């Protein structure tokens, strides 16, 4: 089966600092990747996505980097705010349209 893993289960950052959350995926044929944010008691919320033909995509305060050589995905959050505290996880989509999700990294922003 698929294996989508996150390098660190928890991450604490000072408010205003940048956060970097990492993810490893296993299927080199996966063609689409998503980062989700999940707050306690809520469903996952889409943050940003990237297709396999790209290596970087920027959104508002967030950037996703894709390194297909080492099958690695990262999420960068600029100027992290207390409202960013949540669990973040990545997902990969295989050509068969199956989604596989990582276990998540818990981000805590220290005021």
In the complex, the residues that contact another protein under the rule CB under 8 A are: 1, 4, 32, 34, 36, 41-46, 49, 89, 91, 93, 97-104
Residue 82 and residue 98 in contact, taking contact as beta carbons nearer than 8 Å:
no
Kindly state the smallest distance separating residue 1's Cβ from another protein, in Å: 7
- Three-state SS for 40? coil
Q: Which is nearer to another protein, 78 or 101 (CB)?
A: 101
Q: Which is nearer to another protein, 80 or 102 (CB)?
A: 102
Q: Which is nearer to another protein, 1 or 111 (CB)?
A: 1
- Residue among 51, 45, 55, 58 nearest 104 (CA): 45
């Amino acid at each position: 089966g698929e294996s989508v893993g996150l390098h660190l289960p928890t991450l604490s950052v000072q408010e205003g600092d940048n956060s970097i959350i990492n993810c490893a995926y296993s299927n080199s044929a996966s063609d689409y990747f998503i980062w989700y944010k999940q707050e306690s008691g809520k469903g996952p919320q889409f943050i940003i996505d990237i297709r396999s033909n790209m290596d970087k995509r920027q959104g508002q305060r967030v950037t996703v980097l894709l390194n297909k050589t080492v099958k690695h995905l990262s999420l960068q959050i600029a100027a992290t705010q207390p409202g960013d505290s949540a669990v973040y996880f990545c997902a990969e989509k295989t050509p068969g349209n199956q989604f596989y999700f990582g276990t998540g990294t818990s981000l805590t922003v220290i005021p």
